[in-house]
Chains A and B, each alone.
Chain A
Amino acid sequence: MRISGFTRVVGGVLGTDEAQYQGYDNNFSLSSFSLAAVQADYAFTDNLKGSAQVLYHSSEIRQSGVEWLYLSYEPVDAIQIKAGRLRTPVLLYSDVQDVGYAYPWAIAPQQLYSAYLFSRYEGANLRYRFAWDSIQFELEGYWGHFDDDIKAADLMLNVHVENLNGFIASADFGNGVSLRLATMDAPEIEVETAQLELLRSGLLQAGFTDLAEQLSLGGGATALISGASYQGLEWFAAAEWMYLNSDIEVLAELQAYYFTLGRYLGEFQIFATVADSSYQLNTIENSIPLGVAPGLDQLYFGVEQLKQSLPTDELFTLSLGARWDFRPSMALKAEITWLDGEPGQSSFYDVTSIQDGFDRDTTLYQVAWEWVF
């Protein structure tokens, strides 16, 4: 039995009192991204292992509990089969997003690493590795189902996904350069939210069937991700680009990317990151006539309110950060991020916190302590 774990204490303060961003406001807080986890790995045989990871998260939005619970079987070095509760390996750091020690940032770029993707699943994962000349290739596929709450802008959604699946191909060229291509397909998504269901039944009763249909949250979504990174003795760089598309009317099409360039200076590293997201909402035509009857007016404003609460997360950020690996397995980080959102949109801010007149531009200051053991 091997016991290991990780802890991170992340603190931040936002340079405005007109909104909250990722749980941060203009009072310094440690409660948005701080967490602790313990992992137990047990080898039943040389080929069969079991792993469990229990995580405590400080955020009210994230659930604490069993994050990973799986069996891993490696019949030969090149093949690994995992089954159980697993993290979804969509982006480069998706399956270790909680392990801040694994990446340079205080928090991974939110335009990609937000909660839109289904962070974990219950199912199976098959990984195959092979080498060609000096290049190491890795092919990975996963399949399973997801059932959890996702917060999207002002909506808390209970999401159930059947047949969640994806494929990842990556190549490590042995000279610090690696490339990665990934897909995620969620063909059968069911979403429940009390706010929406009430409005939909009202619309159906009033005969606005088309509009009710538009507000349906059932459907499918696909994501395509490509990434590249370079790690050298003096410099490092990483970039990922994601395209997310959905046939669910009230969800959207999202494109996002980040690019990080950094420099190693002994135990220190400094880096700059730019990240951007563009969002394309499917248009919802509010066809309810206004001023005809009080009941219809109520439905009209209900639809308008819903339109306002849907995520429209266009946001450009520039971050400057530093990390100090002051002793093995521990690091300190400091980061300043300029947020440049779009007026009128959610832009990853907590929608209910946005005050009238806020232009979606502010600065986020963060510090973090990372420990793996």
Chain B
Amino acid sequence: MSKDPIKVGAVIYDPRVTVIWGIISDFFKEEGLEIECVYYKDYEGQVDGLMSREIDIAWNSPLAWLDTYLRTDGKCLMGSMRDTDRDRKTVFVVRKDSGIAELDGLRGKTIGFGAVDSPQARLIPINHLHRHGLEYGADYTEQRFDIGVGLHGDHVGGELDAMKALTAGTVDAAVALDLNWEAWKKDGTVDENQLVCIDTTPLFDHCIFTAHPDFSSERFAEWQNVLHRMDYGNEAHRKMMDMEGLKEWVEGRISGFSQLREANGYLKFLNT
């Protein structure tokens, strides 16, 4: 088996995030498996890097996973995800005084979405509306908040701006990832007396490690074994895990991406 460092790709929009990858690198080195981190500006570049074998493994957004999946005819290798990547949902929020109590009440209204390529704040909720008989481009007006396009909604700015627009009354509804909605209610960013969630999407999954189809499955298994030895009880690991928002690495699965695949088919978003 090759002993070359495993090249792992990550999309970085904040230099502080490199600290996370530094901790992961150090841990892998201690465990006798060296990795080399390669940083990308956006997910499209990262998937390009995976396809050209510039990297072996990519820390992918759900949309980047789908892009890889489609580009490799489904042959890419599925890796681990964070515990917090599983079973997420998107919330649909309106003002309490709007009189809107269900999704159908959004017919003819303006809905605030996140960035154009955000799975949780645009693609999946648009598909959810479609499932409930509200067609994109016909039954409501999309007001998009394109912050950090290329980051697939990693940057919270688009969702937050949509929520602020809802509070200000310039849109009739806004969508956000459940974790963000809960955090904003807790820290006072949004006022629960003014805003109310009227619906949620079914559960879906978020980020996942994805390897190139030609990457050795033994090495990928070795990588995952080491990754799963990261321990929240270890102070150094806990720092990284808190920054990345997880308590443990768990087995990956692609069943949680079905809504996104459906959304991609509906919106024909990825050019494949």
Q: Specify whether A and B are partners.
A: no
Q: Which residues of A contact B (CB under 8 A)?
A: none
